[in-house]
Structure 1
């Protein structure tokens, strides 16, 4: 089922928090293939395929062209000036920052390594969301989140031989910018002074359309000179990150964040690095070991526990600036 259809089909009898958590989980499942598919599309420094710049910018351009068609089909209202400001802030993270830094990183390390460091994303999203959206969580919630983050960071250090590499720095930049883009995009789904709420599905679509004057010419400029030299599998990876990672996955993700609350739903992302590693096995032929499986099960346990802990909104989302 397409993410948009799944979002619309979420059982109405469930509480908003539960529906948000389920939609967030769907978004995470779709995003879990982002790193393996990015690696598949770009290859490695030793065996390059599509350039990291083309994968990062080209995926936004392709998704933006499709978003134009979709927005016209649903007769979406043109964003207000206040909404455009929020949309462009969202774009700085999800269109430019995260894809570019992630693309550079996965050419230097395997998908499993990148997936683990990317596990810091839920904490980045939660902290930024707590500040910008004024949400409060219990000390137990933060303790559970810190435990999950500690597991992820410890695993990253174990995989990297007790040190962080250049690729880790790039990945950390991707995490910070990605978390900012997630928060700003979810914020657009609530109203504020001079800023009416926007449907979550339209948020990412308008973000992509607004970036087309930049992404389209840059995509043409960074496109490969010899398209025939690129493996079909690399093009397949590019199509996935364009349609799912850059566009349709956000239909479920932003709606989940808006319904279930930034702090609670963001913790579902702790599962994402381990899903990415598992998926890298059939996609890239990478291997997993018993320690990796053990860490993944422990992180999943922290997600299940965090979902049951209280989160309060200090200021109503409609009033949050």
Structure 2
């Protein structure tokens, strides 16, 4: 692998915000990533199975998907002859791995043993607000009051729907889902920061490769001792190749091009996409109320993406974080 990358040298000029074309492309790529991630819910449910008919162990699904995607990432990086990350980037890679490789997949897999995919999709609908709030603090991004009003309104719609779908109360699995939300927010923001310093598709690959010394032994240790259905293994294959790897190619690139605060709001529609996908995959019933909330949330997203956002310039002593205009 090369030890340097001339295409990603820091620019001497201050970073600028994304152009309209970059913002549009970022939103489309973010939407593609969200569609891939939405399918994660029914596919993970297929992989682990319900408590009444358990399939693959949640720990195996968590470690195995990351180990398989890590092997794919290693091969891709070697074929690409990608440069090694710089020393100061390894800590951020580790933080992203903690959230995207461990926190979100494990919390989701444990929860989906107890609740349907539709329930999990609705509860994790608060992820965009968690991501945006964390991004505003870590990446020093600023948004207008109108933007935050749309973000809060969208999350309130999601929370109301979750409360109604849960029969007016939370269940124990919701704790695992909140852990998944926290992990994903941390991982997304760390990945977004790195995707401004190296090609976005390499970010998740290095995260997964860094995790191999952990994920491979754990996968071996928790390998299933009982047989599982072909559908369970199919779900495992999907979350390995698409949810854990290819989906991030589109997602991190979208965050880098369109801005983390803005593109992250597209994820408001993810729970409702997952609801729709759960119908053909799992046979879960779809109610008219779901469609109503889906349309309402998408309307809020369309308004929110038109609200102004900006990124503060980094100080001379802070690590360089190139923007898309510097590529």
TM-score computed with the length of structure 2 as normaliser: 0.90
User: What root-mean-square deviation, in Å, do the aligned CA atoms of Structure 1 and Structure 2 show?
Assistant: 1.5
Residue 188 of structure 1 aligns to a residue whose secondary structure is helix
CA distance in 2, matches of 1:297, 1:284: 22
Identify which of 88, 111, 123 aligns with 1:105: 111
Counterparts of 1:145-224 in structure 2, within 5 Å, are: 145-190=151-196, 197-224=197-224
Report what 2:262 is aligned to: 264
CA distance in 2, matches of 1:295, 1:71: 41
Identify which of 268, 290, 302 aligns with 1:292: 290
Residue 195 of structure 2 aligns to a residue whose secondary structure is coil
CA distance in 1, matches of 2:314, 2:150: 25
Q: Is the 8 A contact 1:134 1:320 kept in 2?
A: no
Structure 2 unaligned segments of length 5 or more: list them. 1-18, 323-327
Q: Deviations over 1:240-261 (max 9, x none)?
A: 0000100110000001001100
Residue 52 of structure 2 aligns to a residue whose secondary structure is coil
CA distance in 2, matches of 1:246, 1:184: 16
Report what 1:6 is aligned to: none
CA distance in 1, matches of 2:176, 2:211: 23
Q: Deviations over 1:98-138 (max 9, x none)?
A: 00011101111000000001111111110000100011111
Once the two structures are TM-superposed, the CA of residue 83 in structure 1 deviates from its matched residue by: 1.2
CA distance in 2, matches of 1:158, 1:22: 31
Report what 1:58 is aligned to: 64
CA distance in 2, matches of 1:241, 1:125: 21
Once the two structures are TM-superposed, the CA of residue 19 in structure 1 deviates from its matched residue by: 1.1
Structure 1 unaligned segments of length 5 or more: list them. 1-12, 191-196
Report what 1:251 is aligned to: 249
Residue 310 of structure 2 aligns to a residue whose secondary structure is strand
Identify which of 91, 94, 109 aligns with 1:85: 91
Report what 2:240 is aligned to: 242
CA distance in 1, matches of 2:151, 2:115: 26
Residue 35 of structure 1 aligns to a residue whose secondary structure is helix
CA distance in 1, matches of 2:35, 2:28: 11
Q: Deviations over 1:129-155 (max 9, x none)?
A: 010001111101100111100000001
Report what 2:9 is aligned to: none
Q: How many residues align?
A: 301
